[in-house]
Amino acid sequence: SNIFILSALYLERRLAVGTVSETAGWILHIFNLTCMLIFPSATVLTVTSMTPVGGVISLGIYTVLFLKLYSYQDSNRWCREIRQARAKRLTRSYSCPDVPQSNGSAVHSHVSYPGNLTHRDMYYFVFAPTLCYQLNFPRSPRVRKRFLMRRLFEMLFLMQLLVGLIQQWMVPTIQNSMKPFQEMDFSRMVERLLKLAVPNHLIWLLFFYWFFHSSMNFVAELLQFGDREFYRDWWNSESVTYFWANWNIPVHKWCLRHFYKPMLKRGTNKFLAQTAVFLVSAFFHEYLVSIPLKMFRLWAFMGMMAQVPLAWFVGRYLNGNYGNAAVWMSLIIGQPVAVLMYVHDYYVIHHSSTK
């Protein structure tokens, strides 16, 4: 991964001094980003000892790095546009939208372009719990040791709890669901689906807390990263769009800053721009599931794209508590369906191959 990181940094340095043209720089950045997605996926598919869990973790790391480096090249290009325009002040924002600064009162040296093109700046961004690059991040004044230890304890405890719940509750439930699926016994399939919904949803909620609250706050505290808005009140969502905009703030800000708003500025209408965002999200969901499992069924892709008509239906016909209930039902029922579909296909492929 360091090869891709350093390639992006050195390319930006060449662009800053003008030894590489903007067109050539853009092509090289796209090549670097494309290789970043192809290399880990090819490795996962060809290495027989790679487990699905290991594949998901590897591809997840490279996906995060892909989004970070895309933001890095985009932000530095905007800086060059401002520098070239000189007196003309562009209205583009170089920080993530709606970033609260209340946690960032520490005094740090102000960096301006191209002084940001350093190894220290690049690797701080790589490890920082954000996907949106900016020249000057909000910083906290000190590392709070008690806060850090609480988050570390939560991380260790919840990880053990998650592993135990998956092994002792979820896996046996999934195994017991295979026979009804093979026999296409609809009534028993529904019963197994509802049984799976309980542990699946509990594990999803615990994982959300472990990742977005405990882990990301732990990393942010270590790096004195001031912006701690990793999620908002998605549980109060009365529409599907509100849920997707508030449950994963780092990804939402990236999509808004680097994909959705640029499309609107090019004249794309809001519905097509929103659909395009879901399309990109669907691609990465499928990328993170199909490749580690080494089978391509598109269930995750179709599940994400189904959010578009679901969002339209809930927004048009359901309001208030009814909309909130629809969002929760889609979470509680939708995820187990996808899990069973993938596990069933994975079981059939590997079970038939052993015969």
Question: Residue 225: helix, strand or coil by DSSP?
Answer: strand
Q: Which of 56, 254, 51, 217 is nearest to 140 (CA)?
A: 217
Strand-pairing partners, residue 139, are 225
Check: CB of residue 320 under 8 Å from CB of residue 332.
Answer: no
Q: Which of 285, 344, 350, 351 is catalytic?
A: 285
On the CB side of 60, CA atoms within 13 Å amount to 8
User: Which distant-in-sequence residues (6+ apart) come within 8 Å of 351 by Cβ?
Assistant: none
What are the Cα distances from residue 177, in Å, to 138, 221, 294? 49, 43, 22
In angstroms, the CA 273 to CA 267 distance is: 10
Residue 285 annotated to the active site: yes
H-type helices in the chain, by residue range?
Answer: 2-17, 22-46, 52-85, 119-127, 145-165, 171-183, 186-208, 216-222, 240-246, 249-255, 261-265, 270-293, 299-305, 307-317, 320-354
Which residues are CB-contacts of 253 (< 8 A; sequence separation ≥ 6)? 96, 97, 130, 131, 132
What is the 3-class SS of 93-124, one letter each residue?
CCCCCCCCCCCCCCCCCCCCCCCCCCHHHHHH
- Does residue 245 sit in helix, strand or coil? helix
Location of structure tokens 């933001």: 71
Any idea which residues carry the catalytic annotation? 285
